[in-house]
Amino acid sequence: MAALAKANSADVLYDFSIMRVYTDGRVERLAGKDVFPAGLDAETGVQSKDVVISPELNISARLYLPKTAGTDGRKLPLLVYFHGGGFVIESAFSPTYQKHLNLVAAEANVVIVSVNYRLAPEHPLPAAYDDSWLALKWLASHSHAGGQDPWLNDYADFDRLFFGGDSAGGNIAHNMAMRVGLENPGAGGINLEGIYLNCPFFWGKDPIGNEGDNVYVSSLLENLWKFVNPGTTGLDDPLINPAADPDLARVGCKRVLVYVGEKDPLRNRGWHYKEALRKKGWDGYVEVVEAKGEDHVFNLINPTSDNAMAMVKKLASFINNV
């Protein structure tokens, strides 16, 4: 989260808990820099590898393949995942996401494509959205088994396609689903079945529930959004506040699963998303699950806790529609 620097911090323009920005333009990331190599995960048997999507833009992805792939001749559902980190830190190659997505791939028996998009402030929004859409178009080139990657050609079922993500990644997943819906659902090999939003980074100008009680958190979120998206129209920009989107009913999927944490400042926005979908006339299936006693993206902090593993199992049921 972002906050304006203290007045006596002469050299610091913004002081983040995860990143500092200095008056000379220098950016110092304090978290989310670690990289974990792809390969075989001994615990789950899931294999992973890295692929380049656009060398010109430095867009890439990490692919995950469960050990059951190819064992019965049937293709597996496909999850496109967008990592969190406030649009400013983390990557698809982080140990945080490696652990979580290995567990999801094994439990849900799903092929995963974890997109590595460019970060703000070097690449402010809409770069992350544009990169993610480019990655989806690259992915769609495999829908008839004619793409560059054999894992996607041989094992991915593009009729069972899902988007997912946490925090900022949940925001991206929603906005990619909106773009699918607005640009002709099913066109170009993108036939989206559902989206999974884990503690999604949504906000708005008018407080919901107890949001107005914590001015500090509200200012953090507002500062962060304006920092990563300097061209925004404000906190009721549909990119950050889906309820303000007149086209919300056109979100391009049939099913939605939202996770919120009871102690997460973004909790109310997850519930509000469900209400907004209904009010706008979207007629698909939507479910919100609240994890008691948990804070923001709790499953990434402690991926094998009871609540985190319950989330993995719930996501597996959602993807497999059981």
Structure confidence by residue, pLDDT tens digits, 77-86: 999 999 999 9
Q: In this structure, are 19 and 154 located in the same domain?
A: no
Q: In this structure, are 12 and 145 located in the same domain?
A: no
Residues 6+ apart with CB under 8 A from 21: 12, 13, 14, 27, 28, 121, 227
Give the pLDDT band of residue 294 (cuts 50, 70, 90).
Answer: very high
Q: In this structure, are 19 and 130 located in the same domain?
A: no
296 labelled catalytic? yes
The whole-number pLDDT of residue 281 equals: 98
Q: What's at 51, amino acid-wise? A: V
Report how far residue 62's alpha carbon sits from residue 93's, in angstroms, rounded to the nearest whole number: 7
The whole-number pLDDT of residue 78 equals: 98
Q: In this structure, are 117 and 201 located in the same domain?
A: yes
Please work out, in degrees rounded to the nearest 5, the angle formed at the alpha carbon of residue 104 by the alpha carbons of 99 and 106.
Answer: 100
Structurally, the chain folds into a number of domains equal to 2
Q: Which domain holds residue 19?
A: 1-30
264 labelled catalytic? yes
| Average confidence (pLDDT) over 128-137 | 97
Q: pTM, whole model, 2 decimals?
A: 0.95
Q: What tokens appear for 187 in the block?
A: 């066109």
Q: In this structure, are 246 and 189 located in the same domain?
A: yes
Q: In this structure, are 212 and 261 located in the same domain?
A: yes
Q: In this structure, are 24 and 53 located in the same domain?
A: no
Query: Phi and psi at residue 38, in whole multiples of 5°?
Result: -70, 160
The whole-number pLDDT of residue 17 equals: 79
The whole-number pLDDT of residue 208 equals: 96
Give the pLDDT band of residue 4 (cuts 50, 70, 90).
Answer: very low
Q: What tokens appear for 16 in the block?
A: 């983040």
The whole-number pLDDT of residue 16 equals: 75
144 labelled catalytic? no
Q: Which of 100, 166, 167, 237 is catalytic?
A: 167
Q: What tokens appear for 102 in the block?
A: 């290995």
Whether residue 169 has pLDDT greater than 80 = yes
Q: In this structure, are 136 and 10 located in the same domain?
A: no
Report how far residue 110's alpha carbon sits from residue 9's, in angstroms, rounded to the nearest whole number: 48
Whether residue 272 has pLDDT greater than 80 = yes
Structure confidence by residue, pLDDT tens digits, 212-255: 999 988 988 999 999 999 999 999 999 999 999 999 999 999 99
Q: In this structure, are 169 and 316 located in the same domain?
A: yes
Residues 6+ apart with CB under 8 A from 200: 165, 166, 167, 170, 171, 173, 174, 258, 266, 269, 270, 273
Q: In this structure, are 41 and 26 located in the same domain?
A: no
Q: In this structure, are 112 and 64 located in the same domain?
A: yes
